[in-house]
Structure 1
Amino acid sequence: MRVFKFGGASVKDAAGIRNVYDVLQQAGYEDVLVIVSAMGKTTNALEDVIKNYFDKSPELSSSVQEVKKYHNQILLDLFEDDKHEVFSAVNTQFADMEYFLAHNKSPNYNFVYDQIVSYGELISTTILSQFMSYKGIQTQWLDVRNYIKTDSTYRDAEVDWELTQKNIANNIPRKILNITQGFLGSDENNFTTTLGREGSDYTAAIFAYCLNAESVTIWKDVPGVMNADPRYFENASLLNQISYREAIELAFYGASVIHPKTLQPLQKKEIPLYVKSFINPTLKGTSVSKGQDLEPYLPCFIVKRNQLLISLSSIDFSFIMEENISEIFGLFHQFRLKVNLIQNSAISFSVCVEDKFGNFNDCNAILSKKFKVDFTENVTLYTIRHFNEQAAQTVEDNKTVLLKQISKETMQIVTNEN
C-alpha cells in the first residue's frame, strides 16, 4: 500500500481538487491511502472563529459564515447538481460545529481549539472523497479519529502507538482509494485531538508504519526538498536524495518541508518518503531514504522567524551550574517554550526559544525571581547545515548578529533584522 499526503495548498479551490484527481490518475490509486489537510487557509479562518468565540465577539457568526461560504463556493464549482448529497454532508458538519459553539461548557482553549479546527480536515476530505466518487473512482472515506488514538494533550497530542497499530493494521480496506484526515486523532473519551501544526505529514507516517506501506509521498507546490526556502534565498537548489539521518537533522532545526515527527517511524521500517510536485507530478522530486546524506552535497539553510533570544545571568555573579540549568529547562518544559539554541558561559546562559503558546511572560515572572533576565523579541534564527564561509556570509550580510554558534556540521546565527 502507498500513502499519499496532500496539503492545504493542493486543495485550496475547485481547480486544486480537480488537479488531485489528475495526479491520482497519473500516479495510480489502487491500494492507496490519501491523507488530506484542511483547504487553503481554513485552519487560520477557524482560529479566527475560536478567537471570536472566546472574546464573545459579535463577529463570531460572520467568521463562521465566511468559512461556510468559502467551502460552498468550491462545492458549486465542482458539482453541477446542487442537490448532490455532498451539500447536505458538508452542511451537517457545519451544523455540528455550530452546535458545539452553542453548547460547549469547557473554558479550556486548547480543548475547544481541537474540536473546532478539526472541521477543516473533516470537510475537505468529505468534498474530495465525494468528488472522486463523482468522477467514477470508488473511494472509502475514513474518520481518522477511529484509528489514531492519543492522550489528551490538546493541540500537541502524543500517539498511543499500541492502540493505533491495532486499529489500523486490520481495518483499512485494500484495492480501493481510501481518503482520511491529516492532523487529527482522538483521546480515550473520543474527543478530537490534534498532533501539532503541520501534523498531516506525521499522520501519513503513522499510517505507513502501521500498514507496512511501500512508500509515503508528500505532494507539495514545490519540486521537492530545496536546500533553502526560495522566499528568503535566491538560487535555491533541489536536493535529489536525503538520508533519513540528514532529514531528521534538517527537521530538528526547523526545515518546513518535512514535519519533525514524521521521519522516525519511517526510518524504523525503512519506508521511503518522496516529496513531489502536485503541479508537475511526473518530476522525480526528492527521495528520503537509506543512502548518501545529500545529493547534491550543498549547504542547507533553515530560517526560523519570530524567535525569542533570552539571556539569563546570576544576580550575585555566581556560576550557573547544572542544578540551575535543570531548573531553567524544567520551566521551559512547563511553559512549553521550544528551545532551538543553547549557549552558556560561567555566569550567563543564552537560549533562543519559540513561544508559540504565548507563555513567556508567565515563565519570565518566575525566572526573574532567581536570575537577571534580558530578552530580545522577534529575532531570526538561521541554521546552516554543511556550512562554508560563503554560506555564512550570505546570512550575515546587512544584519546585526546577536549570537553565533558553530559545531562540526552546523552553524547557527541569531540576527536582529528590525
Structure 2
Amino acid sequence: MKVFKFGGASVKDADSVRNVAAVLGSQGFDKCLLVVSAMGKTTNALESVVEKYFKKEDYQSEIEEIKKNHIAVAKGLFKEEHTVFGEISLFFDDIDSFLRRNKSPNYSFVYDQVVSCGELISSKILSEYLNEEGYTNQWLDARDYIKTDNTYREGSVNWQLTEANMETIDRSKSYVTQGFIGSDENNFTVTLGREGSDYSAAIFAYCLGADAMTIWKDVPGVMTGDPRKFKNVELLSNISYEEAIEMAYYGASVIHPKTLQPLKQKHIPFFVKSFVEPEKKGTKVGISENNQHIESYILKDNQILMNIATRDFSFIAEEHLSLIFSLLAKYKIKISLMQNSAISLALCLEDKYHHIDELNEELSRTFNTEVVKNVSLFTVRNANMDDLTRFYENRKVLLEQTSRQTLQMVTA
C-alpha cells in the first residue's frame, strides 16, 4: 500500500481538485490512501472564526463566507443535484451548532473542534469527485483511527491504540482521509499541530506498513534553500532520513519536523514531488548510497531571542535550568537554538501561541531577562567551514553557534 498527501495548495479550487485526479492517473491509485489538507487558506479563515467567537464578534458571517467558497468549488466539479452539496452544508451547520452550544472557555479545545472541519470538508469533496471520475475510494474519518491525548492543538499520538485501529483497514482498497486531526478518549477532535497533515500521513504510513509515502507540493522537491529567499538553489534528489530530520528541525518548511521519525523506524521511503510536474522524480528521503550532503540554507523568521542571567552572578545551575525548561513547557514555547555561559543562558525561541510576555513575566521574578522579538534564525547545513565570512555580510548577528558542518546565527 502507498500513502499520498495533498496539501491545501493542491486542492485550493476546482481546477486543483481535477489536477489531483490527473496526478493519480499518472501515478496509479491502486491500494492507495490519500491524506488531504484543508482547501487553500481555509484553516486561516476558520482560525479567524474562533478568534471572533471569543471576542464576541460576528463570526457567523465569516462561516457563511467560507461555506460559499466551498460550494463554489463543488459547483465547478459536480452537477447541482449531487449529494455533496448537502454534506457540505451539514459540516458548516455543525460548526455553527457547536459554537452556539459550547460552554467551554478553553480556547484550544474550541479551536480544534472548529478548525478541524476544513480537512473534513475538503476530503469529502475530493473523495466524491474521485469516485465520480472512476477512482473508486472510501472516505475515512481520521478521528476513528488516530487516537491522541487531550492536549488540544498539539495532540500526542497513542501509538498502540492507533495501530490497533488501523488493523481494521483493508489494505487492498483505496481511501481518502484527513490530515491534521485525531481524537481523544472522549472522541473530541484533537489537532496535531499547525501544518500537521504531513505527520498524519506518516502515522498512516507507519501503521499500515506502507511501501512508500509521497507528499505532493507546488515545488520540485526539497531544495538547498527556499527559492523565494535564496538565489541559485538546487534540487536535492536523494537525502538520508537523518539529514531530512535535521533540516526539518532547523526550519525547512517543505518537511514537517515530526514526519520523518515514524518513516525512519520502518525504513519507509519518503518522496517529495511536484503536483505541477508529477512525472519528475522530486526528492527521495531514505537509505541510499547516493544520498547527498550539499550546502543548504534555512531561514526561520518570527523568532525571539531571550537572554536569561542570574541576578547574583552565580552560575546557571541545574535547578535554574529545571525552572526555565518547566516554564517553556508550560507555555508551549519551543527552543530553536540554545547557548549558555557561566552566568547566562541565550535562547532563540518559537512562540506559536503568543505566550512570550507571560513567560518573561514569570522568569523576571527570579532572573534578569532581556527579550528581542522579530529576529531570524539562519542555518547553513553542510557548510564549507573554510569560507564562512560570506555568511556574515550585511547581517547584524546577535548570536552564533557552529557545530561540525552546521553554522547558525540569530540576526536582527
- Taking structure 2 as the reference length, the TM-score comes to 0.97
Distance in 1 separating the partners of 2:50 and 2:76 = 28
Three-state SS of the structure 2 residue aligned to 1:78 is coil
Q: 335, 341, 365: which one pairs with 2:337?
A: 341
Per the TM alignment, residue 392 of structure 1 is displaced from its structure 2 partner at its CA by 4.4
Match of 1:324 in 2: 320
Match of 2:251 in 1: 254
Match of 1:69 in 2: 68
Match of 2:367 in 1: 371
Q: Which runs of 5+ in 2 are unaligned?
A: none
Distance in 2 separating the partners of 1:154 and 1:313 = 33
Per the TM alignment, residue 370 of structure 1 is displaced from its structure 2 partner at its CA by 1.2
Match of 1:234 in 2: 231
Distance in 1 separating the partners of 2:54 and 2:187 = 23
Any conservation in 1 of the 2:294–2:382 contact (CA below 8 Å)? yes
Distance in 2 separating the partners of 1:25 and 1:111 = 39
Match of 2:22 in 1: 22
Per the TM alignment, residue 322 of structure 1 is displaced from its structure 2 partner at its CA by 2.2
Per the TM alignment, residue 413 of structure 1 is displaced from its structure 2 partner at its CA by 0.5
Q: 154, 157, 160: which one pairs with 1:159?
A: 157
Per the TM alignment, residue 357 of structure 1 is displaced from its structure 2 partner at its CA by 1.0
| Distance change (3 Å), C-alpha of 1:185 and 1:349 | same
Three-state SS of the structure 2 residue aligned to 1:92 is helix
Match of 2:137 in 1: 139
What is the letter of the counterpart of residue 275 of structure 1? V
Match of 2:300 in 1: 304
Deviating 4+ runs (over 3 angstroms): 389-395
Three-state SS of the structure 2 residue aligned to 1:352 is strand
Match of 1:277 in 2: 274
Query: 1:320-342: CA deviations, max 9, x gaps?
Result: 12221222112111111101111
Match of 1:188 in 2: 185
Q: Which runs of 5+ in 1 are unaligned?
A: none
Any conservation in 2 of the 1:213–1:271 contact (CA below 8 Å)? yes
| Pair 1:149-2:151 in alignment | no
Match of 1:115 in 2: 113
Match of 1:266 in 2: 263
| Pair 1:396-2:389 in alignment | no
Per the TM alignment, residue 384 of structure 1 is displaced from its structure 2 partner at its CA by 1.0
Per the TM alignment, residue 6 of structure 1 is displaced from its structure 2 partner at its CA by 0.3
| Distance change (3 Å), C-alpha of 1:411 and 1:141 | same
Per the TM alignment, residue 347 of structure 1 is displaced from its structure 2 partner at its CA by 1.5
Three-state SS of the structure 1 residue aligned to 2:407 is strand
Match of 2:90 in 1: 92
Distance in 1 separating the partners of 2:291 and 2:53 = 47
User: Which stretch has the larger CA shift, 285-294 or 241-250?
Assistant: 285-294
Paired-residue identity, %: 54
| Pair 1:223-2:211 in alignment | no
User: Which stretch has the larger CA shift, 135-144 or 21-30?
Assistant: 135-144
Match of 2:36 in 1: 36
What is the letter of the counterpart of residue 226 of structure 2? D
Distance in 2 separating the partners of 1:391 and 1:232 = 21
| Distance change (3 Å), C-alpha of 1:11 and 1:344 | same
Per the TM alignment, residue 397 of structure 1 is displaced from its structure 2 partner at its CA by 2.5
Any conservation in 2 of the 1:35–1:182 contact (CA below 8 Å)? yes
Per the TM alignment, residue 390 of structure 1 is displaced from its structure 2 partner at its CA by 8.4
What is the letter of the counterpart of residue 17 of structure 1? V
Query: 1:154-196: CA deviations, max 9, x gaps?
Result: 0000000011000002x22344320000010000000000111
Per the TM alignment, residue 292 of structure 1 is displaced from its structure 2 partner at its CA by 4.7
Match of 1:243 in 2: 240
Match of 1:412 in 2: 408
Match of 2:380 in 1: 384
Distance in 1 separating the partners of 2:324 and 2:391 = 30
Three-state SS of the structure 2 residue aligned to 1:252 is helix
